[in-house]
Chains A and B, each alone.
Chain A
Amino acid sequence: EVQLVESGGGLVQPGGSLRLSCAASGFTFSNFWMSWVRQAPGKGLEWVANIKEDGNEKYYVDSVKGRFTISRDNAKNSLYLQMNSLRADDTAVYYCARVRAVAGTDFFDYWGQGILVTVSS
């Protein structure tokens, strides 16, 4: 059974840092692109970042470029999101998601339960 379990969320002050982790199990982690998707309170879904199977390609939504860093450790079956210079509008539930690619399209076929990040003084 595929499982994705996020950890590391919490309350942080504006300008602070936080590192999210996602522990993957039930599949060959190193064979899949992985993503972070977030959802601000009462709002819709927003893709944040994704990373290639080997970690050599990374992409970010414009609003987090230069502040967030996605990484992975295939030996530990783990995905990470280092978040620096946090702002109030980064407050959201952050989901770890597996990316499946089928004939030219990508979609998120498994999701973690989500972890809340609150940026507030």
Chain B
Amino acid sequence: DFQMTQSPSSLSAPVGDRVTITCQASHDISNYLNWYQQKPGKAPKLLIYDASNLETGVPSRFSGSGSGTDFTFIISSLQPEDIATYYCQQGWAFGQGTKVEIK
């Protein structure tokens, strides 16, 4: 079965820090990888599609890269409003999620 392995499961960083989340696919998925942000009690929100394309209206401190099986999501300067759980997704599979907190 196809799987997405996302890490870490949680992280804590100071405001202004660079945050990195990774997602690994069980087989080559080209650049077909998307990232979502879910704030507590809210619906998920699309941030990045096709590995590196920023959805309209999403701040430029969010970025994504990768192809094949290995992908990276970066928040270049963590802000208090970025507290959320982040998910990668390909097809009908989601990663396990990464909970991001402020230290």
Contacts and interface: CB of A to CB of B under 8 A. Distances in A.
Interface of A: 37, 44-47, 50, 59, 61, 95, 100, 102-109, 111-114
B61 interface: no
Contacts of A61: 92
B49 A102 contact: yes
Contacts, number: 53
Contacts of B32: 104-105
Nearest to B33: A105
A112 B44 CA distance: 9
B46 interface: yes
B96 A108 contact: no
Given A37-B44, A44-B94, A45-B94, 14 more contacts: A44-B87, A44-B95, A45-B87, A45-B89, A47-B94, A95-B43, A103-B50, A105-B49, A105-B90, A107-B34, A109-B55, A111-B44, A113-B43, A114-B43
B interface bracket (residues with beta carbon within 8 Å of A): 20 to 34
Give the one of A44, A61, A95, A112 with max B CB within 10 A: A44
B97 interface: yes
Nearest to B34: A107
Interface in B63-103: 87, 89-97
A109 B50 CA distance: 12
A102 B46 CA distance: 14
Given A44-B94, A44-B96, A45-B97, A107 B89 contact: yes
Nearest to B44: A111
Which 7 residue pairs are nearest across A and B when measured between Cβ atoms? Answer: A105-B32, A111-B43, A47-B92, A107-B34, A45-B94, A44-B97, A107-B49
B93 A108 contact: no
Nearest to B53: A102
A63 to B, nearest CB: 12
B30 A106 contact: no
